[in-house]
Structure 1
């Protein structure tokens, strides 16, 4: 009898623990795709598609996305990736470039309910226009999630990055809907920029190593950050050991939204 009672207690405890982490499973990728140019200097959009298909994410944040520029032969990178993956897409142009557009993109397995392009401040002398793509997607069960793809300023001076972060934080704080912020943030883990973000976001990639350059990475520049205190469980995260398709390695996080 005592064994039966002990078994029941352990079983109930296990079920209770499992219930605490039940929710929507979401796999997220962030990937700076270097406008589709691989490490051999060749345009290879299919190479990017192959990486995405092999990892099977639900949401993908893409940076350095060209749209109909001359340097990629007027191709539409996002549409080609949508055709290859069957995912919904959104393009947030940061600037006109080479006969087309340049900015950030999103791929989503979930229907996109709302989308916006957030222009980020860029006042540095040698800086360039930056943007964040922000979408609201409908998860199974009709709950909502915001997902943002951002590419922050690349200069050594952090002034523009800090201003860009403040604008993103304002967007995050305007809605109770949880947000995933993913992208190439061009800042190291212990920088002031990442410290400010982590005051409001949980870093799902906190334990990961460097992501750039892809052949022999030395710097961690790519992150997946989660807002919505107490709503997230990180099941796992890793840097994909892809060395050719882009100059950045893609980053994956497997999440549970409670």
Structure 2
């Protein structure tokens, strides 16, 4: 009897150990939709100022996180409208404005929209560009229970000269120095104002970031000289992994001089 009892006890302990190991080893997956859109303060390719068009594009896509560039706040050219607040209300998302500089009776910068709970926000001042100041919006976001990532919205210097190349690289270095102190997976989206093979993007690759390749349809800027300027990159941690599912540019020829960029991701945690 004692021998049987000991065998049964050993079996129970073994089963419990296996169950605990199995439970601890299980990973969860959540989907995440990222959108990046330089909206040119709502002025379309037809020279008409109509922010409702950009709002409709964002609302129709329903992203979890959205990085917007070229945003006005109370500027004369955009009818003294707080564009971040307007877009947040229209899309029913949480809006955050990141100021670059005073401009036209108000402020000019960028904005992020989030459908997920925001844990913290940092407006990080970057080295000023050749002609404009620059910042980055950095959010810690809870994308699922017990899963937090860092979402960064950028709009780097736009000047094409050697000075501009150096400026963008310097901005990337200051940003990376800050986010290196945060031990979380990181997604950076925005208007990088440079191509995937540029010094700035090569710097990000060297820092462990992965680039999501858009394929043949990659020209996001649709002005006079079409170019691939808008990107989504990411960096994993040991415990949380990001896996790209798809990335594509929308056909929106009128709303802005940039096409909206959509990235669909899986986050494994």
TM bucket (normalised to shorter chain) is 0.7 to 0.9
CA apart distance, 1:80:
1.0
Look up the match of 2:151.
147
What does 1:118-197 align with in structure 2 at a 5 Å threshold? Answer: 118-122=124-128, 124=130, 127-156=131-160, 157=162, 158-197=165-204
Look up the match of 2:253.
243
Provide Cα deviations, 1:6-30, integer angstroms capped at 9, x if missing partner: xxxxxxxxxxxxx998512100000
Mapped partners of 2:125, 2:51: distance in 1: 26
Change in 2 beyond 3 A, CA 1:70/1:123: closer
What does 1:25-174 align with in structure 2 at a 5 Å threshold? Answer: 25-122=31-128, 124=130, 127-156=131-160, 157=162, 158-174=165-181
Listed as ranges, the gaps of 5+ residues in structure 2 are 1-24
CA apart distance, 1:218:
2.5
Q: State the TM-score, normalizing by the size of structure 1.
A: 0.87
- Secondary structure of the residue that 1:83 maps to in structure 2? helix
Look up the match of 1:255.
265
Q: Is structure 2 residue 198 aligned with structure 1 residue 198?
A: no
CA apart distance, 1:229:
4.8
Structure having the higher Rg: 2
Listed as ranges, the gaps of 5+ residues in structure 1 are 1-18
Look up the match of 1:8.
none
Q: State the TM-score, normalizing by the size of structure 2.
A: 0.83
CA apart distance, 1:136:
1.1
Change in 2 beyond 3 A, CA 1:46/1:194: same
Change in 2 beyond 3 A, CA 1:76/1:205: farther
CA apart distance, 1:37:
0.8
* Contact kept? 1:147, 1:181, Cα under 8 Å: yes
* Contact kept? 2:214, 2:247, Cα under 8 Å: no
CA apart distance, 1:188:
1.1
- Secondary structure of the residue that 1:139 maps to in structure 2? strand
Count of aligned positions: 237
Mapped partners of 2:180, 2:148: distance in 1: 15
* Contact kept? 1:89, 1:106, Cα under 8 Å: yes
Q: Is structure 2 residue 214 aligned with structure 1 residue 212?
A: no
Provide Cα deviations, 1:89-118, integer angstroms capped at 9, x if missing partner: 111101111111111110000111111111
